[in-house]
Structure 1
Amino acid sequence: MAATTLDATPVTPVAGIAPRERRERRSRRLLGAGAWLCGIIFFLPFAWMVLTSFHSEQDAGTNPPKIDAPLTLHGYREFFGSGTGVSPWPPLINSLTASIVSTLLVLLLATPAAYALSIKPVRKWSDAMFFFLSTKMLPVVAGLLPVYLIAKNIGMLDNIWLLVILYTSMNLPIAVWMMRSFLSDVPGAIIEAASIDGAGLPTILARIVAPIVAPGIAATALISFIFSWNELLFARVLTGVTANTAPVFLTSFVTSQGLFLAKVCAAAVCISLPVLAAGFAAQDKLVQGLSLGAVK
């Protein structure tokens, strides 16, 4: 049998592939440069705040500001009460208490609700989701007076547990919406197999659903914590001395004598550190959670 010879003619590339690759490479470079530019723009105000916090009040208040001014820790010493004698630790502890407890309550309430609206959908679940969303349509300031009167009548003014209840109710609709989008991607076959094996709802949520949607739970928890930590309006009106939070304590540096810019920046940096630390610790889970379900 004669040996079959293979055609060694080289395959010519399809016209247009190379220019298309160059265009795609150029587009990726432009998108990367745009992302870096946006990141720098968003980071510059924080970097400027950190730099200003290490300046004296005289150097911080100059126009234009002095970038090469001498550095000092005077603003941080003032924040920790070296000159005023006012300690920042009670407001910081109040903020941590209200934020952590309310976040835990939000997760405990939002996960079963999202489970009922996604994996085991109730009747007219879309109406229920719209109801959750409609609670965010009312401006917070519109409900401030009724909440103040109710808190006054039941003796809950200047009470940290009142803020826990308010922060839980404020963050719960957002958490339900987020958790539903995460739980919708859980395979139904796993839930059915666990049910056949005799697992109840608490077991399914704790041992099966929670590990699968752990990135989504971390993202929801972080966003709820940030919203609770940064809330100012309710904390400013409903608290006084005992239950004032870190953002309320920050406003105390704006006095009738003027705006002490270096001390305000030092206080803002210190108050921002817990949120930054939480975001840095959960950044991988946050990215996975926010992108969960984005690619089908």
Structure 2
Amino acid sequence: MASVALPSARRRLAPAARRERRNRSLLGLLAWLCGIVFFLPFAWMVLTSFHSEQDAATNPPKIDAPLTLHGYREFFGSGTGVSPWPPLTNSLTAAAVSTALVLVLAFPAAYALSIKPVRKWTDVMFFFLSTKMLPAVAGLLPVYLIAKNAGLLDNIWLLILLYTSMNLPIAVWMMRSFLAEVPVEILEAASIDGAGLPTILVRIIAPVVTPGIAATALISFIFSWNELLFARVLTGVVAGTAPVFLTGFVTSQGLFLAKVCAAAVCISLPVLAAGFAAQDKLVQGLSLGAVK
């Protein structure tokens, strides 16, 4: 009886296994198609950046047009004499310092809202979320007037303060979801051994949620690096950032597509490098707690 039942069970399982393999293949194909769709615009931008302005402006564009570095030479100031390094330095300073401040402030806040929840912590979380409901342009005029009266226009520290306040709510939300997965038994054992709160945060919790910290830091860095509205209005020559410098390639004479693509590629490289370096931590952080 057992020898008869075993082949019949295998026959029943065979169609299910084939369906599962077919579904996995379809999902894999769909993932590749989505990846190609998202990658094609960037690949087209990189290709256009190596074309001359005449070839980049043709309709339809010439894929096999001769390649040149003229757009990159223009970006680095060979023709205009304008160096891109001050704006790039300003963007790096504002993004790095604001990200560090966001992590320093969001980590203990997330601890208080997850592991040691304060009273009415849901109201606190909703308050953090509500700060992202106001469009940034709606608060632009008050921020401009405050900065003008305080003498902070065209000051990199104003951007650092703004970027910190803008990224802090989403950082607290992300960090809280990561810290909520920390086993309470580890914290109880550390407390029994006499560890204080700073020791628990730095030496116990931080190593456990390192992927979450990396994911939060990368997202905050990207948001700060790409921000244009406040940087465009509140800065000038001294504290102008890389996105503001990029808009300078759109002039009254027209849109120089090859130069804009070359500048966009150069400005995107720091973010791409940071994402590539932390991709494993980013995936672990964003999927933390998804699978038990």
Q: What TM-score do you get using the length of structure 1 for normalisation? A: 0.97
Residue 287 (structure 1) aligned with residue 258 (structure 2): no
* Residue in 1 that maps onto 2:229: 233
Letter in 2 for 1:207: R
* Residue in 1 that maps onto 2:6: 11
* Residue in 2 that maps onto 1:267: 263
Superposition deviation, residue 9 in structure 1: 6.0
C-alpha distance in structure 2 between counterparts of 1:195 and 1:75, whole Å: 60
Deviations 1:51-101 (A, max 9, x none): 000000000000000000000000000000000000000000000000000
Letter in 2 for 1:275: V
SS of aligned partner of 1:16: helix
* Residue in 2 that maps onto 1:71: 67
Percent of counterpart pairs with the same letter? 85
Deviations 1:25-72 (A, max 9, x none): 110000000000000000000000000000000000000000000000
Q: Stretches of 4+ moved more than 3 A in 1?
A: 6-10
C-alpha distance in structure 1 between counterparts of 2:2 and 2:72, whole Å: 78
* Residue in 2 that maps onto 1:84: 80
Deviations 1:161-195 (A, max 9, x none): 00000000000000000000000000001111111
More helix by share: 2
SS of aligned partner of 2:267: helix
Letter in 1 for 2:236: G
Superposition deviation, residue 10 in structure 1: 7.2
C-alpha distance in structure 1 between counterparts of 2:262 and 2:99, whole Å: 27
Alignment of 1:28-107 (within 5 A): 28-107=24-103
Superposition deviation, residue 199 in structure 1: 1.1
Letter in 2 for 1:12: P
Out of 115, 138, 144, the position equivalent to 2:111 is 115
Letter in 1 for 2:86: P
Superposition deviation, residue 8 in structure 1: 6.2
C-alpha distance in structure 2 between counterparts of 1:293 and 1:190, whole Å: 17
Deviations 1:224-282 (A, max 9, x none): 00000000000000001000000000000000000000000000000000000000000
Out of 13, 20, 30, the position equivalent to 2:16 is 20
* Residue in 2 that maps onto 1:248: 244
* Residue in 2 that maps onto 1:153: 149
> How many pairs were matched up?
291
Superposition deviation, residue 16 in structure 1: 2.8
Pairwise CA RMSD: 1.2
Superposition deviation, residue 7 in structure 1: 7.3
Distance verdict in 2 for CA 1:18–1:251, change over 3 Å: same
C-alpha distance in structure 1 between counterparts of 2:2 and 2:151, whole Å: 92
C-alpha distance in structure 2 between counterparts of 1:293 and 1:167, whole Å: 28
* Residue in 2 that maps onto 1:3: none
* Residue in 2 that maps onto 1:183: 179
SS of aligned partner of 1:11: helix
* Residue in 1 that maps onto 2:130: 134
Letter in 2 for 1:117: L
C-alpha distance in structure 2 between counterparts of 1:225 and 1:40, whole Å: 25
Residue 206 (structure 1) aligned with residue 202 (structure 2): yes
Structure 1 gaps, min length 5: 1-5
C-alpha distance in structure 2 between counterparts of 1:89 and 1:37, whole Å: 37
SS of aligned partner of 2:6: coil
C-alpha distance in structure 2 between counterparts of 1:198 and 1:247, whole Å: 49
Out of 118, 125, 135, the position equivalent to 2:121 is 125
Superposition deviation, residue 13 in structure 1: 3.2
